[in-house]
Amino acid sequence: MDELQQQVLTVLKDNARLSNKEIASRVNSDESAVSAAIKALEKTGIILGYGAVVNDEVLADHGDSKIRAFVELKIQPVKQTGYDAIAKRIYSYPNVVGHYLLSGNYDFLVIVEAENPKDIAAFVFDKLATIENVTSTNTHFIFKKYKESGRILQEEDGVSRMAVMA
């Protein structure tokens, strides 16, 4: 990746809705060079898509909400394929929105999205826990998000808690 591609990528990570002209202005380049850099980043698979950072709490106020949970999995790796074959089975489920191989006490972190806690529990019990090489699960429901993809989701209201003295 060349320097212009790196600069364009940095700008797009912050705001993918900018026009090529606006990006060119920010990276001191011309619009055609920016367009070529973006096409190259897409072609090489560095840029896989574009998305919005959504405040799920505000969305829920408008009647459309899903909940998310982090599910930690301990895995017994498969000979010759290691974690990859099991990972493919897990990330193929449509309600799996994120999947990571970890170091530490758990091998996988799976981010699951559903309409309600019962649906997530059913998914963990019926789909994930029943996979032959899954040895344990640990589920964490997200109650509130404060920051997502580098964006603070809560407006500062100026209210702070009083100190409690014992």
All structural domains of the chain: 3-43 (1.10.10), 56-144 (3.30.70.920)
Token pair of 13 as six digits: 């990570």
CB atoms under 10 Å from CB of 120, counted, come to 21
The Cα 70–Cα 59 span in angstroms is: 20
Q: What is the CA radius of gyration of the chain?
A: 21
The CA distances from residue 114 to 121, 147, 159, in Å, are 10, 20, 33
Residue 113 and residue 96: Cα distance in Å, rounded? 6
Half-sphere CA count of 159, side-chain side, radius 13 A? 3
84-131-96 Cα angle (round to 5): 65
Pairing of strands 134-141, 151-152: unpaired
Please give the pLDDT value at position 52: 83
**DSSP character string of 114-149:** ESSHHHHHHHIIIIITTSTTEEEEEEEE----SEET
The pLDDT of residue 123 is 97
* pLDDT reported for residue 159: 60
Give the pLDDT of the chain (166 residues) as one tens digit per residue.
999 999 999 999 989 999 999 999 999 999 999 999 999 999 999 999 998 887 777 777 777 778 999 999 999 998 888 899 999 999 999 999 999 999 999 999 999 999 999 999 999 999 999 999 999 999 999 988 898 888 888 776 666 666 677 6
Interatomic CA distance for residues 119 and 95, integer angstroms: 10
